[in-house]
Amino acid sequence: MDTTSTVERVSATGIISDTIRTNFLNADYGIKSWLLTKDHKRIAILYLISITVFFMIGGAFAAMIRMELITPEADVFTSEAYNKVFTTHGIMMVFFFLIPSIPATLGNFLVPVMVGARDLAFPRINLLSWYIYVIGGLFTLTALVLGGVDTGWTFYTPYSSTYSNGYVMLTGIGIFITGFSSILTGLNFIVTVHKMRAPGLGWFRLPLFVWANYAASLIMVLGTPVVAIGIVMIALERGLGLGIFDPRLGGDPVLFQHIFWFYSHPAVYIMILPGMGVVSEIMACFSRRHIFGYKFIAFSSLGIAIIGFLVWGHHMFVSGQSSYAGIVFSLFTFIVAVPSAIKVFNWTATMHKGRIVYSTPMMYALGFIGLFLVGGLTGLFCASLGVDIHIHDTYFIVAHFHYVMVGGSVMAYLGGIHFWWPKMTGRMYPEGWGRFSALLVFVGFNLTFFPQFIAGYLGMPRRYHVYPPEFQIYNVLSSGGALVLGIGFMIPLIYLFWSLKYGEKAGPNPWRAAGLEWETTSPPPTFNFDYQPVVDHEPYNYSEIDARSSATVSTHSVQEEQHV
């Protein structure tokens, strides 16, 4: 028991201690205490800051793309520069933002707290993973400063191994290194969930967020090394003259695509699964109900993680893969939609007859469901062999995966950041601004990407900076939407910073939410709990919580309750 003795009183906003408690933020000061920390919560904050930087870089390149595409002619960039711009956008967003986004920040912060542990199983490895991430990022940024890379984020051979004169090696090394950070995070989560659960916390009492991160960790551990060896093979071919994918020696460039997508398709599930975990938590809390179909949601996470490994060839329907293999991959792709659909049905059923609170996290979660649904269903179009020939390499694909990655992952990420912000910082964010920006993001997003479905279906190819004039209307809409979306992303950045100093103090549990993380103080002490937590009840026991608290004071901001 290393915290100061506190006198607690009940105030209008919940339980707030009079004296300042020792927590992970004020336990130690100075840059060294952050850079050498082994506390998973501080490492999560380090990750949060660094991925925000990479998100802004990636976002800046997205803005350049949208700027160029306002008119059909080449106004801003040459073809080569444009290739580098969209490649950089992809690499930054995929490898340096989306993959670490939820696991390395929210997951890192919450998984140990949710399982009632003092830290992750390997705190030093956790810190190492952040350093590896930063070093990998610096390599890639160096390549960017020196002149960039133009292969697309997919590094297809033989262009990447032989012909491209961009900084393929340097970027590849950066991604290779960053891959290790992802592996180490996944490894840490797997061991922590297996070995460090608090007494009484059986597998079916784990929050679904933990299940989702566990499933994503499986993919990180089993998939990442395969793309790593793919990058090594490109490096050997480019740097040392070995020929593994070289058609002149009889090598098959398509083999690289197999190796690349074996990881990079499941990587999409690394991005979306933790997001689904976030949505499960938010959905139960703001519907004030036990989550519907707990075991179905839990097992569908594992189902997605496993079946997700069998579908990679749907990226290669037109690259010269055998048509029989195409049929098999198409079939598995349809099958992987089933566990995703199970989740959506269960979330909907959770809301049914719930007392829904339209708070900011809930708005993001509702946005997630809508956008993920569109992204997922258009995924089925793409998975149909015949349709894919029509829409392959068009803006339809671009719109599809942005609906999943931005509409899915980023919405969930923002929802999760808002939901757990009081826990992470001890401060509330301004609710009004939160709702406004959530709405702005939703509208801006749809305005940006829905027109791309139409342009793509009509035949506008991706990765070109000039296009026939008849597509201009869709591109202007899209660029306008991107502006709205950009503003929608900037507002939270500003008010979340503001709230660090001026935000209302949050009690331990401002949402009256279930879960071990809400039982400790906000922000939590360095070892998460001042006592050894013991779990003696089922997860998501919202009916009990509400029954208990209706007798005592109501806590924070249940302003617009509506009965559905």
Partner 1 sequence: MSDAAHNSLVAHQFDDARQQQEAATVGMWTFLITEIMFFGGLILAYMIYRNQFAESFHAASRVLDVWVGCFNTCVLLVSSLTMALGVRAAQMGDRKKLVLFIIATMIFGAAFLGVKAYEYAEKFEHHLVPGPTFHFHGVPGHEHAPNAEIFFSLYFAMTGVHALHMIVGLGLMTWLLRKSIKGTFSKDYYNPVEICGLYWHFVDIVWIFLYPLLYLIDRS
Partner 2 sequence: MSDHSEHHIVPLKVYFLVFSALMILLFVTVGVAMVNLGPFNIYVAMSIAIIKAVLVVLYFMHVRYSTRLTMVVAAAGFIWLVFLLGITILDYTSRSWIPGSYQ
Report what 266 binds from partner 2, partner 1, none; CB cut-off 5-8 Å by kind. none
Task: Look at residue 302 and give the partner it binds from partner 2, partner 1, none, a contact being a CB closer than 5 to 8 Å depending on partner kind.
Answer: none
Q: Is 191 in the site for partner 1 (CB under 8 A)?
A: yes
Report CA torsion sign: 26, 31, 32, 38: positive
Does residue 221 belong to the site contacting partner 1 (CB under 8 A)?
yes
The answer to the question of residue 196 lying near partner 1 (CB under 8 A) is yes
Binding partner of residue 321 among partner 1, partner 2, none, CB under 5 to 8 Å per kind?
partner 2
Q: How many Å apart are CA 447 and CA 31, to the nearest integer?
A: 42
Scanning 241-287, the segments in alpha helix (DSSP H) are: 253-287
Residue 322 binds which entry of partner 1, partner 2, none, CB below 5-8 Å type-dependent: partner 2
**E strands along 288-370, which residues?**
355-357
534 binds, among partner 2, partner 1, none (CB under 5 to 8 A by kind): none
Name the phi and psi angles at 40, rounded to 5: -60, -30
Q: Residue type for 15, please?
A: I
> For residue 157, what is the DSSP state?
T
Minimal distance in Å, beta carbon 517 to partner 2? 25
| Of the candidates 108, 259, 261, the residue with the CA atom closest to the CA atom of residue 187 | 108
For partner 1, which residue of 3, 56, 60, 123 counts as binding (CB under 8 A)? Answer: 123
CA distance 122 to 375: 36
Q: Which of 45, 94, 228, 455 binds partner 1 (CB under 8 A)?
A: 228
Q: Using CB under 8 A as the criterion, which residues of the chain lie in contact with partner 2 when the complex forms?
A: 194, 222, 226, 255, 258, 262, 309-310, 313, 321-325, 328
Binding mask 148-187 for partner 1 (x = CB under 8 A): -----------------------------------x---x
DSSP assignment string, 320-334: T--HHHHHHHHHHHH
Count of chain residues binding partner 1 (CB under 8 A): 43
- Tokens representing 486 are 């950009």
Rounded distance, CA 45 to CA 36, Å?
13
- Here the tokens at position 113 are 């707290």
Mutual angle of helices 253-287 and 294-307, in 10-degree steps: 170
Interaction of residue 223 with partner 1, rule CB under 8 A = yes
Q: How far is the CB of 209 from partner 2 (least distance, A)?
A: 22
According to DSSP, the β-strands at 14-17 and 8-11 are antiparallel
Least distance (Å) between residue 323 CB and partner 2: 8
229-258 footprint of partner 1 as x/- string (CB under 8 A): xx-xx--xx--xxxxx----xxxx--x--x
Nearer to partner 2, 27 or 221 (CB): 221
The answer to whether 127 contacts partner 1 (rule: CB under 8 A) is: no
The β-bridge partners of 10 are: 15
Which amino acid type is present at position 176? F
Q: Which residues of 515-546 are buried (b: 16+ CB within 10 A; e: fewer)?
A: bbbbbbbbbbbbbbbbeebebeeebbebeebe
C-beta of 379 vs 525, nearer to partner 1: 525
Q: Does 190 bind partner 1 (CB under 8 A)?
A: yes
Which parts of this chain interact with partner 1 (CB under 8 A)? 1, 117-123, 183, 187-188, 190-191, 194-196, 221-226, 228-230, 232-233, 236-237, 240-244, 249-252, 255, 258-259, 527, 532
